[in-house]
Chain A
Amino acid sequence: MYVYNDFDEGFVRERVAQFRAQVERRIDGSLTEDEFKPFRLMNGLYLQLHAYMLRVAVPYGTLNSAQMTQLAHLADTYDKGYGHFTTRQNIQYNWPELRDVPDMLSDLADVGMHAIQTSGNTIRNVTADHFAGAAKDEVEDPRPIAELLRQWSTDHPEFQGLPRKFKIAVTGCEADRAVIRAHDIGIQVVRNKAGEIGYKVIVGGGLGRTPMIGKVLNDFVSKADLLPYCEAIVSVYNLLGRRDNKYKARIKITLHENGIEKIQDLVNARFEQIQPVFAGVDPQCLAEIEHAFAPPLFKTASTDGYEAARLANPAFRSWTDTNLADHRADDYAIVSISIKKQGATPGDATSEQMRVMADLAAKYGHDELRISHEQNVILPHVHKSDLHAIYTALRDVDLATANIGLISDIIACPGMDYCALATARSIPVAQEIATRFDELKLEHEIGALKIKISGCINACGHHHVGHIGILGLDRAGVENYQITLGGDGTETTTIGERAGPGFGADEIVPAIERLVLGYLDLRMCKEETFLHAYRRLGAAPFKDILYPEKAQKNAA
């Protein structure tokens, strides 16, 4: 994977030194909060309900074991022994003290990490398919261009004061695991008829208060043109995007108000202007980046022990059935480590768990880890002969839950337990749903089901694209939860449909239970997932289950 060169290292160190001086000046009274706030936000430091929160970027979700070990060190030294992995492949520390933050950033710089542009109206951390470089169905590893985009967008002088934040996601496959259609720019690596690699560029997707699915701006942008093309998009948005109304400032609204044709014309005109003089891509630089992401040397070994362990140990078999994905190399697998044991906080990992995952990556996983937008941790390259040893080590630290893609593998934002913007809590709802279906022993019977929970309209919990989405609101001073149905965050992206009136905090878990048990009665067979059943039947029978009194009234 990519290792900082002298320029990266120098840049990040200088930023830490600048921020250290800014913190000192804030504490000694030389800077007011109004003066200091833009500086702290530029460095990922937020002030939440109970404490500061530091958001650290995990670029395109990729970490090595030394970086993961350092994240554990930060959790122990400056926080309360844990960190929270987010839907943007970042990690958040919920309890740092202001004085310690420069030291945290310095410790991060020691392992080639930072918190730059994890806040503010800038281009944020570029996210990627968490199976990138390992997935069997991939055209090409999208991380070299993600790294190129990171370098291009970091401290880009033209794009430090955009109308609003700007999020880019990349994937190397048709199967979309990075929700690229819900990003300001979504990039998919494709191959044209001539066999050349290029990029399909999608713009104007987003969730939040006005959810929209991105539109294809260009079916094929060549590798050499990708950066100037992205520069043209952001440059057009920078001028055209609205600054009069925060809620209409994202590029999805710019696109909606101006139409795709006008945006296309403007982007093409701007592209033609800048492409001949664009100095942003040095082919040698890209070659070095691509080299850094070259696949590891895969080993060959017998998988007899793996098959035998599967036969002998039903719990191991269940875990392999649920938590593995197809790898491009023979006899390898992609391991998804669930950090969502039923009843635990989605996305939270203790420092001990981080160290165990880091050690496993070093010992068995070619030193690579990934953070998924679904708030789990991935070991992307594992030989099947090592799976049992990994499972055993994970089980010892409560990380062997066999629930990937199932009802308890819930995305939940921090909600009002931490977030200053939240209107209701998300975490307890996730905990209760997971615990309840574990008690019912129905999780595997229910099968693939994505529940996503946001604690406010900003939709960090991606509720719009949950098969079942839950949105927490404040209704006259009481927590209230709205359900959306039929959302989908993959290549067939769909915004969920609101089911009806919201439910109180004590009603939401029973409502979800009713809905899911009702689905079991409605499905044609075990293979028909919740989403498939919803698409076949439409919303009506599901609404009847959620609101039985209304259904009875209509029937009478």
Chain B
Amino acid sequence: MSRTFTPKVITANALLEGDAIWFTEDDTWTRNIAEAELITDEAHGDLRLLEAKADQGIVVGVYLAEAKPTDKGPAPTHFREAFRTRGPSNYAHGKQEV
């Protein structure tokens, strides 16, 4: 029995700064998950993952992460991915800083 494919985004860390980034529809990387491409088809996801991994000269550790659609664009579903969009909880550092 096949599993139902749940929506995902492609994410990684930037090579130079190391911060979380997401893959967009036009093959660029964004620091805002809401601008990422939301992938709803498994075969398309596999293809896009290959394309994203081709950018390994500027990104590190590409993977598919669970996400959900919202009015503002894709948003994380798991708390780990939510932290990656913000930064740590003990200081206002990381993405929440700006």
Q: What residues make up the interface of A, taking CB atoms closer than 8 Å to B?
A: 26-27, 29, 32-33, 47-52, 80, 94-99, 345, 348, 416-418, 425, 427-428, 431, 474, 477-479
B73 contacts chain A at the CB level, 8 A cutoff:
no
Question: B15 to A98, Cβ gap below 8 A?
Answer: yes
Given contacts A417-B83, A425-B89, A477-B78, contact A51 B18 (CB under 8 A): yes
Question: B84 to A428, Cβ gap below 8 A?
Answer: no
Report Cα–Cα, A545/B56, bound state, in Å: 53
Kindly identify which residue among A32, A49, A431, A479 contacts B84, using a CB–CB cutoff of 8 Å. Answer: A49
- A–B Cβ pairs within 8 angstroms, 25 of them: A26-B15, A27-B15, A29-B57, A47-B13, A47-B60, A49-B80, A50-B20, A50-B83, A50-B88, A50-B94, A51-B19, A51-B94, A52-B18, A95-B93, A98-B15, A98-B17, A345-B90, A416-B79, A417-B83, A417-B88, A417-B89, A418-B88, A427-B90, A474-B79, A479-B79
Additional A-B contact list (16), CB under 8 Å, known A33-B56, A80-B93: A29-B57, A47-B13, A49-B80, A49-B83, A50-B18, A50-B20, A50-B94, A50-B95, A51-B18, A96-B18, A97-B16, A98-B16, A417-B88, A417-B89, A431-B90, A477-B78
B87 contacts chain A at the CB level, 8 A cutoff:
yes
Question: B15 to A478, Cβ gap below 8 A?
Answer: no
Report Cα–Cα, A451/B79, bound state, in Å: 25
Given contacts A50-B19, A98-B18, A477-B79, contact A33 B60 (CB under 8 A): yes
Residues on B with beta carbons closer than 8 Å to the beta carbon of A431 = 90
Question: A27 to B83, Cβ gap below 8 A?
Answer: no
CB-CB nearest 7 A-B residue pairs? A417-B88, A51-B18, A52-B18, A29-B57, A50-B94, A345-B90, A427-B90
Question: A50 to B84, Cβ gap below 8 A?
Answer: yes
Kindly report which residue of chain A lies nearest to residue B61, judged by CB atoms.
Answer: A47
Report Cα–Cα, A500/B88, bound state, in Å: 29
Residues on A with beta carbons closer than 8 Å to the beta carbon of B80 = 49, 416, 474
Residues on B with beta carbons closer than 8 Å to the beta carbon of A474 = 79-80
Report Cα–Cα, A477/B79, bound state, in Å: 7
Distance to closest chain A CB from B79 (angstroms): 7
Residues on B with beta carbons closer than 8 Å to the beta carbon of A479 = 79
